[in-house]
């Protein structure tokens, strides 16, 4: 059975407060993970455009469409690995500071 901390006649912390903090933190991390993943996809798309430009102008290879490069299997793998790493980082990071 869970214990409640009591300060005078009012309760200061109880199990619903812990559940509220946990779900609030989980919701915040999920939203931030989606936003950062969308940002990663945008950055990756810009990187593919720079790669395509340098590949066609410096190495004199034929220029390809950036959308075709973005939909390529290799770039999908790189983008997916980046999203997984972002998700792992977001869900394992903590804002709490340890007291010394």
Chain mean pLDDT for the chain: 82
Confidence of residue 6 (pLDDT cuts 50, 70, 90): low
State whether the Cα torsion 8-14-16-20 is positive or negative: positive
More confident residue, 88 or 96: 88
Q: What is the pTM of this model?
A: 0.70
pLDDT in tens, 39-81: 999 999 999 989 888 888 888 778 788 888 888 899 999 999 9
How do the domains of the chain map onto residue ranges? Answer: 5-92
pLDDT computed for residue 18 by the predictor: 77
> Which residue from 28, 48, 39, 29 is spatially nearest to 82, judged by alpha carbons?
39
Q: Has residue 9 got a pLDDT over 60?
A: no
């Amino acid at each position: 059975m869970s214990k409640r901390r009591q300060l005078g006649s009012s309760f200061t912390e109880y199990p619903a407060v812990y559940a509220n903090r946990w779900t609030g933190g989980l919701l915040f991390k999920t939203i931030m993970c989606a936003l950062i993943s969308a940002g990663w996809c945008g950055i990756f798309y810009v990187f593919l455009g720079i790669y395509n430009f340098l590949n066609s102008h410096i190495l004199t290879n034929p220029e390809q469409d950036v959308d075709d490069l973005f939909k390529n299997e290799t770039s999908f793998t790189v983008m997916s690995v980046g999203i997984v790493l972002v998700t792992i980082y977001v869900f394992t990071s903590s804002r709490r500071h340890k007291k010394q």
